[in-house]
Amino acid sequence: MIDLSRYRGIIFDMDGTLIDSMGSHQSAWRAVCEEYGYPWDEAYMYSLGGVPTLQTVVVLNEKYGMSHNAEIVAARKKLIWEEGDHTPTVIADTFAVFEHYRPSMKIGVGTGAERGHALDMLNATGILSRIDALVTASDVENGKPAPDTFLNVALQLGLTPAECIVFEDTQIGANAAAAAGMDCVIVKDGKIQC
């Protein structure tokens, strides 16, 4: 087990870090990209994991020189995702960390997902009732890579940034953790990178 004894709190990203739902999000994004004419680049889209949906559309418009209405495209992505099969499961490696440290440390979730989606996923996996804090894209003005999400989780936990460690699966999330003054553990393909 990874030694986190120097910290007082753990902050997990949700999609792709604590809960395996990135595949269903990727499928929804692929359909949206095809529908709106954005070139599909799976690796690039995965790198945007944790960025709120609305902001992802803004990024895609800028990258590809398009001017689609971000709210309409984001709503379409949400609808496609909701209609798909996205039964969530926990990611074994990070959930083992959660289980090991839950009795002795405060645990929060900081996600780029909208609040409704986060509540659904965390409820379906039984995690919601076991965390001490939750901050979603709906709760902050500036999502990842800005530090706001993680700073707000630390605040809810009653901890300083230096007392928290973040688990993230994207570089954007790692950048947000660094900007918040927090150490970060990367999770790649469901495996903790030490």
Q: What is the arrangement of strands in the sheet containing 9-12, beginning at the earlier edge strand?
A: 133-135, 106-110, 9-12, 164-168, 183-188, 191-193
Angle at 124 between CA 123 and CA 127, to 5 degrees: 50
| CA distance linking residue 30 with residue 27, whole number of Å | 5
Beta bridge partners of 188: 191
| CA distance linking residue 162 with residue 183, whole number of Å | 8
Instruction: Give the residue ranges of DSSP H helices in 102-147.
Output: 115-124
> Which member of 13, 15, 139, 148 is catalytic?
13
Asked if 148 is an active-site residue, the reply is no
Report whether 49 contacts 29 (CB < 8 A). Answer: no
Which amino acid would we find at residue 71? E
| CA distance linking residue 177 with residue 100, whole number of Å | 22
Which amino acid would we find at residue 15? D
| CA distance linking residue 46 with residue 42, whole number of Å | 6
Catalytic residues: 13
